[in-house]
Chain A
Amino acid sequence: MADLAMAQRRDPLEGRLAAGPGVTVAAAPSCFRMSLRVQPPQVAALSKALGVSLPRKPKTSASEGTRTALWLGPDEWLVIDTGDRDPVADCAAVKALHSAVDISHRNTGIVVSGPAWEAAISAGCPQDLSDDVFPIGAVSRTVYGKVEIVLWRTGAETFRIECWRSFSDYAFTLLADAARDAMG
């Protein structure tokens, strides 16, 4: 069965890139993603299996190496791994009650960076993203324009937006349009 070569992965944004004065909007590379649901008594077991301590505080994240667990709800995390270890595989042998579902292809990542990030993100996201309220590492499931996103602040001037793949064109196009409004 010679023609069974591995099919090529094709990200919906296919490396799109846009920029405004002081801000760039870029498609994030493909990665592993998992939706993890687990009740508090079993959190420790999952943290151990994943090698990252699942954060318990709302709107926070915890990272270890290439893996980050983003708090989305009292029993819900989005786990992103930009390396080569599938978090779903790491959970497969865990006996503790949980639900691990592969959503690597459900979401698409967009990275917004640069000092004028606010022009792009605050054009569509109504949240207060000031340093005090939304520091580095902060995470929120929120809206951007007309679509739902997960917003994650990865640096002082860098944010990662995760949305469902079919909404990524809308989110990217709006981010790029808004980036033109960067006032510096």
Chain B
Amino acid sequence: MADTFRLAGQGRLTPAKTVRFSFDGSGFTGLEGDTLASALLANGVHLVGRSFKYHRPRGFLSAGAEEPNALVGVHRDAARKTPNVRATVQELYDGLTAVSQNRWPSLARDVGAVNDIASPLFSAGFYYKTFMWPKAAWKHLYEPRIRAAAGLGVAPDEPDPDRYASRFAHCDVLVVGGGPAGLASALAAAESGAQVIVCDEQPEFGGSLRYESGAEVDGRDGWNWAQATATRLAAMDNVRLLGRTTAFGYYAQNMVGLAERVTEHMAEPDPDLPRERLWQVRARQVVVATGAIERHLLFPDNDRPGIMLASAGRTFLNHFGVAVGRRVGIYTATDSAYAAALDLAAAGVDVAAIVDLRDSPAGPMVDKARAAGIEVLAGHAVTGTAGRLRVSAMTVAPRDGGPSRSVPVDALLVSSGWTPSLHLFSQSRGKVAFDDATQRFLPGTYAQDCVSAGACNGTVDLTAAIKQGLAAGESAASSAGRKAKAQKIAAKSVESIDGGQLGTAPGAENGKGVKAFVDFQNDVTAKDIRQAVREGMRSIEHVKRFTTNGMATDQGKTSNLHGLAIAADMLDKPIPEVGLTTFRAPYTPVTFGAIVGHARGALFDPTRKTAMHSWAESRGAVFEDVGQWKRAWYFPQAGEDMHAAVNRECVTVRNAAGIFDASTLGKIEVVGPDAARFMELLYTNPWQKLDVGRCRYGVMLREDGFIYDDGVVGRLAEDRFHVTTTTGGAARVMNHMEDYLQTEFPELKVWLTSISEQWAVIAVQGPKSREIIEPLVEGIDLSDAAMPHMSVREGRICGVPTRLFRMSFTGERGFEINVPADYGHAVWEAVFEEGRKNGACAYGTEAMHVLRAEKGYIIVGQETDGTVTPDDAGLAWAVGKKKTDFVGIRGLRRPDLVADGRKQLVGLKTVDPAVVLDEGAQIVEDPEQAVPMTMIGHVTSSYWSQNCGRSIALALVKDGRSRMGKKLFVPMPDGPIEVEVTGTVFIDERGERLNG
């Protein structure tokens, strides 16, 4: 600790509370309450990174969230490696490990720094010009190299082990920013009884009072007042105080996104705590009190470590008790930097000189500086700096020319004035207005229920900020419907952030080949911006994209205004005519973790399981995803692969019986005196004459006449239908029906209720199906005479209510047992036990697919793709010929849909029965024709059928039904496969097995 820059008696940290940390492998000691930046500075470390493009040595520019330079990696453990952490924001904790970025082999000796010497090659627009030729080199040479060079920091390579929480919140007044204006407005709003949320990105509230010296509020030291006010607010029931919380985005209807960093500052966080918490706050009124950000000055070599904003130098001194150097120069275009000189001098730091661009600075701050014996060089400029890894001298010359001299310094504090933070205001779609007198953009026209207060709204001193804050809080509270009580806060301050300068300073004028950095993070110099204008960019949006000025992760918080001023100067236009680039969320980077929140792993998306899922699981079922559902795909027995299991299941169903979980089918109960009329309108089939207790296969179209869904529908009563849909169609069919009911047929007396999940469905299919269920069923005559194919009965099974359908999706005699879902598991077990006695097995969705294909039954979405009509699919029989209206009837009459040459569903048999076609494969007439061949159709379904002893396929083929027996070809990489066109039914063409 020999070389410490921590000054005794300065700052607010406790000297006894030490914290150990490391940077690039070296161990250091800091204090509790330090940021990584202040702790490194206390140890005399200024060099913390290499710049993105030129690999120039960089230090800290700021002491806050606007930091463009000091980005480091923070590593907690193997899985917790966060790149691009701003060292000025990261709070120190015991054991913190930080590493520098963008350097190799080391920070002090970095090979990439050769880019700096070669910098004429890397001027603005260099990417667009250089890598154009030869064309082939882009893919193999340029792009891989650029990608390797692009990006800053190293992304973590293990899954993020941390938790992230999310919270929706509502309030009357959201105050963004906990500086003097924000605290005053929170207090005013809170005292009115309003529900208030106040957030600030810093761990402590106070904003500019963190560095402002000599401020007095309500008779107390400014900082102490801020802490007391925060404590008072925190104790109020109607206030939620959120520190370490950044309002990163202002969205529609006063929705503001906040990212709260919960454990980033802790050495050993409680594993139950989330790392971050995302707040989505809906506020009746928003008070934007986001302050202002100081700008640097644009002069040659203004980026050496040790050159930083004046307010940053003050923050490190007044809050952290750290001197940024032993001999500090000040370079300014405003009064506010004088306060830095005064604070440093008062703390015993040697101030080399105040170099002031203005010819005759005057006022109390200037007088004080002179009185303190500090040399004030009015009308002077810093025209250059020296020092390789840290500034060692500044070159000072009269601004209008004259002899220069070198002044040794080990730090240089700069200020060209302050930019009001309009980010959130602009994100709220408010229009900014340029104030000519002060050369600043300020809030102009508001678009949402918000009000700005303090430095972001143009105030330049503490008294005005607090006054505006109070007024904003009162007006927000009363706009939110609360009765505001007038509050008074007395504030005293001598400082002002008025005035300043935009664009380049002397030494970096047009034509000078120097590097005066505008955007530190993207290495954009004043020269680059001028070049962009010379090359024809006129809009600031184009200048920005050509130079990348303001496009780094700091989003140009310190650079945008300077860039704009240079472009405006080159174009000889006033600043507002060149325009301001758009502010976009997030204000500062937000982690993916915070945005994702709880939605990862099992909570990424709901996983839907049927009532019988655990049974299938216990029987070793392999599941497949069908939308959000997990469905049993097949049930392999010992030694069986999928092929063997599916073959066995398919054969067992046709020889004995199979039991299948069909619960995921969509189900809709259609109830009301007009239920049949409604069904007539929504389906192609006739329904009026369907007897109670009978079922019908229904086809649903869209207006355009194409098949939308299908399913079996049972009529439970004159006024009650039990409709089934496809699994995937459940939600959209319900919406489709509800849409037509409400908008086209509102006169119908009918209601729709989703019952998909009310009923578990156990399909029992096969010649033994009746024997299997008979012992379990009560009150239903299962004989063919009493309960023929396509009928439905209500009764009981295993003592619980059932809607029992006799229907088949296999071509075998079959039943579908619907039971209230909570009984599904128990009934399944009873049915399976009966099945076992009869040689039945459980089968999965793969066998179901094969069995239905053997019968030529279509699956909507497999045989159909939104361009298939009932006739195309061989379902013309399902369209009621006498019907005068249904959804899609007009569409079906369109010329295209009745023309010859449509693709029709047919069966395909490969000439070699062992060959199974690929689903989706194209079909041609002549395999010898030149590529691209004329394709006349494609394979929609294809399986090995153990029951047929050969492969089978369904296909949509142009004029397919007129090609029966013809040979076609399926061209594949290994040669064409010859197929014969057949009917779609491969087993039991006469349908005798339905009653077999």
Chain A residues within 8 Å of B, Cβ to Cβ: 1, 3-12, 30, 35, 37, 75, 97, 99-107, 119, 122-128, 130, 133, 145-147, 164-167, 169-170, 173-174, 177-178, 180-181
Contact = CB atoms under 8 A, between A and B. Distances in A.
A170 B604 CA distance: 9
Contacts of B755: 101, 103, 106
B751 A177 contact: no
B170 A130 contact: yes
B146 to A, nearest CB: 38
A126 B255 CA distance: 11
Contacts of B825: 10
B826 A7 contact: yes
B823 interface: yes
Contacts of A181: 165, 167, 274, 277
A30 B671 CA distance: 25
A173 B602 CA distance: 8
**Interface residue tally on B, bucketed by range:** 35 or more
Interface stretch (B21-29, B584-592, B607-615, B679-687): B607-615
B530 interface: no
Interface of B: 163, 165-170, 195, 272, 274, 277, 280, 282, 597-599, 602-603, 605-611, 628-629, 669, 671-673, 749-751, 753-759, 775-776, 778, 796, 798-800, 819-827, 830
A101 B675 CA distance: 14
Given A99-B672, A173-B602, A178-B165, A7 B757 contact: no
Contacts, number: 149
Contact of A174 (B603, B775, B800, B819): B603
A125 B800 CA distance: 36
B822 A10 contact: yes
Nearest to A4: B799
Given A6-B798, A10-B826, A105-B758, A170 B607 contact: yes
A37 B671 CA distance: 10
Contacts of A133: 170
Given A9-B823, A128-B282, A167-B608, A106 B758 contact: yes
A124 B629 CA distance: 22
A145 B778 contact: no
A145 B800 contact: no
B671 to A, nearest CB: 4
A165 B757 contact: yes
What are the 5 closest A-B residue pairs judged by CB atoms, nearest first? A7-B826, A166-B608, A170-B606, A99-B751, A6-B799
Nearest to A97: B749
Contact of A102 (B163, B602, B757, B758): B758
Nearest to A35: B753
B775 to A, nearest CB: 7
A123 B778 contact: no
Nearest to B675: A99
B609 A3 contact: no
A119 B274 CA distance: 12
B753 A99 contact: yes
A174 B604 CA distance: 10
A173 B757 contact: no
Nearest to B608: A166
A146 B798 contact: no
A5 B829 CA distance: 13
B757 A105 contact: yes
B550 to A, nearest CB: 33
A97 B673 contact: yes
B403 to A, nearest CB: 64
Contacts of B605: 146
A168 B830 CA distance: 26
B598 A106 contact: no
B168 A126 contact: yes
Nearest to B604: A146
Given A12-B611, A166-B608, A4 B603 contact: no
Contacts of A107: 757
Given A37-B751, A124-B598, A165 B821 contact: yes
Contacts of A35: 753
13 contacts: A3-B775, A4-B776, A5-B799, A106-B754, A146-B606, A165-B757, A165-B822, A166-B629, A167-B606, A169-B609, A174-B598, A177-B598, A180-B272
A119 B166 CA distance: 9
Nearest to A118: B167
Contacts of B602: 170, 173
B778 A1 contact: yes
Given A125-B168, A128-B170, 9 more contacts: A9-B826, A99-B751, A99-B753, A105-B759, A123-B165, A124-B166, A128-B282, A166-B757, A169-B607
Nearest to B798: A7
B952 to A, nearest CB: 33
A143 to B, nearest CB: 11
Contacts of A145: 598-599, 603
A122 B168 contact: yes
A5 B798 CA distance: 6
Contacts of A75: 751
A4 B798 contact: yes
Contacts of A170: 602-603, 606-607
B890 to A, nearest CB: 30
Contacts of B610: 166
Contacts of B599: 145-146
Contacts of B822: 9-12, 30, 105, 165
Contacts of B820: 9, 102, 104-105
Contacts of A123: 165-168, 597-598
A167 B628 CA distance: 10
A126 B407 CA distance: 60
Given A6-B799, A128-B282, A167-B608, A173 B603 contact: yes
A101 B671 contact: yes
Contact of A105 (B170, B754, B821): B821
A111 B880 CA distance: 50
B150 to A, nearest CB: 34
Contacts of A30: 822
B638 to A, nearest CB: 29
A133 B750 CA distance: 34
A37 B719 CA distance: 14
Contacts of A128: 170, 282
Contacts of A124: 166, 168, 598
A61 B12 CA distance: 56
A18 to B, nearest CB: 13
Contacts of B750: 99
Contact of B830 (A3, A127, A164, A173): A3
Nearest to B167: A122
A1 to B, nearest CB: 7
Interface centre among A7, A100, A104 (most CB of B within 10 A): A7
Contacts of B282: 126, 128
Contacts of A4: 776, 778, 796, 798-799
Contacts of A37: 671, 751, 753
Nearest to A104: B820
Contacts of B607: 169-170
A167 B67 CA distance: 45
Nearest to B605: A146
A8 B826 contact: yes
B413 to A, nearest CB: 40
A75 B758 CA distance: 21
A20 B82 CA distance: 29
A67 B481 CA distance: 37
A147 to B, nearest CB: 6
Contacts of A119: 167
Contacts of A9: 820, 822-823, 826
Contacts of A125: 168
B759 to A, nearest CB: 8
Contacts of A5: 798-799
Given A1-B775, A30-B822, A37-B753, A103 B758 contact: yes
Contacts of B754: 106
A180 B598 CA distance: 11
